[in-house]
């Protein structure tokens, strides 16, 4: 249905935990994605409900008709554009290589020969790791959420991980994880808000209008400052 329905409660899928974009505190969802979508919804008169799940489950749940909107620090990619339509970009991100804080031997992908790289199911980081696996001679192991990915490297089960740099730098700064980012950024991308392809044209127009209004009013900057500082 391409028509927007003002009485419908649109379900928004977000990652289980992906600070500063989404996390739970005192039983409440918080974070950049959460504040942004609530502000857009309020500006445009969209009723929404947040549903947290493993990131890899968001697009499949949209395709199954269980979710209307997908977020979760979701990068805009050509592959995903075959399944979803994206809003205008709302955040600049990209991937970084991450190792244990006391690791002195891995500085780039070139140092991963014979090593184990932990990846998170369904992410751009996982795709990147799989694409460069043969060239650099490492193995991959897969988990479903970022917390598990960080633990695998902290406890030595894996040698490295690939994560979005805004997320890993925030995690290291906030929770003092014993991890470090190494080397150059692996790529650059942008986050977008997604809806099922070709099925929610009016909803997407409203999302874009709301996003533009928040940028004009300064509310977008306020949300960013709340979580990232000035
Ligand atoms: N931005 C990355 C992606 O779109 C990671 C998102 C996430 O792990 N929540 O795949």
Which of 124, 163, 193 has most ligand 1 atoms within 8 Å of its beta carbon, as the pocket-test mutant? Answer: 124
Q: 219 near 39, Cβ under 8 Å?
A: yes
Domain residue ranges of the chain, discontinuous segments joined by +: 9-92+191-228, 95-182
Neighbouring C-beta atoms of residue 206, cutoff 10 Å: 20
The domain made up of 9-92+191-228 is a member of CATH 3.40.50.300: no
pLDDT tens string for the chain (230 positions)? 679 999 999 999 999 999 999 999 999 999 999 999 999 999 999 999 999 999 999 999 999 999 999 999 999 999 999 999 999 999 999 999 999 999 999 999 999 999 999 999 999 999 999 999 999 999 999 999 999 999 999 999 999 999 999 999 999 999 889 999 999 999 999 999 999 999 999 999 999 999 999 999 999 999 999 999 86
95-182 and 9-92+191-228 share a CATH fold: yes
Specify the fold of 95-182: D-Maltodextrin-Binding Protein; domain 2 (3.40.190)
Q: How far is the CA of 7 from the centre of ligand 1 (A)?
A: 30
Q: How far is the CA of 133 from the centre of ligand 1 (A)?
A: 19
- Ligand 1 site residues (CB inside 6 A) read 15, 18, 55, 72-75, 93, 120, 123-124, 164
Q: What ipTM does this complex have?
A: 0.98
Which of 55, 92, 142 has most ligand 1 atoms within 8 Å of its beta carbon, as the pocket-test mutant? Answer: 55
Distances, alpha carbon 178 to alpha carbons 51, 88, 98, in Å:
30, 35, 10
Residue 23 DSSP SS3: strand
């Amino acid at each position: 249905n391409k028509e927007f329905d003002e009485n419908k409660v649109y379900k928004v899928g977000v990652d289980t935990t992906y600070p500063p974009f989404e996390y739970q505190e005192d039983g409440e969802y918080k974070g950049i994605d959460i504040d942004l979508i609530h502000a857009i919804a309020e500006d445009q008169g969209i009723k929404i409900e947040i549903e947290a799940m493993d990131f890899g489950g968001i697009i499949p749940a949209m395709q199954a008709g269980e979710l209307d909107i997908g977020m979760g620090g979701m990068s805009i990619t050509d592959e995903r554009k075959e399944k979803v339509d994206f809003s205008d970009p709302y955040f600049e991100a990209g991937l970084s290589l991450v190792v244990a804080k006391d690791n002195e031997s891995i500085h780039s992908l070139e140092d991963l020969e014979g090593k184990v790289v932990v990846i998170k199911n369904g992410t751009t980081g996982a795709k990147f790791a799989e694409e460069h696996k043969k060239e650099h001679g490492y193995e991959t192991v897969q988990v479903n959420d970022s917390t598990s990915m960080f633990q695998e490297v902290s406890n030595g089960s894996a040698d490295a991980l690939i994560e979005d740099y805004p997320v890993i730098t925030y995690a290291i700064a906030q929770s003092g994880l014993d991890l470090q980012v190494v080397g150059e950024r692996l790529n650059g991308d942008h986050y977008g808000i997604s809806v099922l392809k070709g099925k929610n044209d009016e909803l997407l127009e409203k999302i874009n209008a709301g996003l533009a209004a928040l940028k004009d009013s300064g509310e977008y900057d306020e949300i960013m400052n709340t979580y990232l500082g000035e």
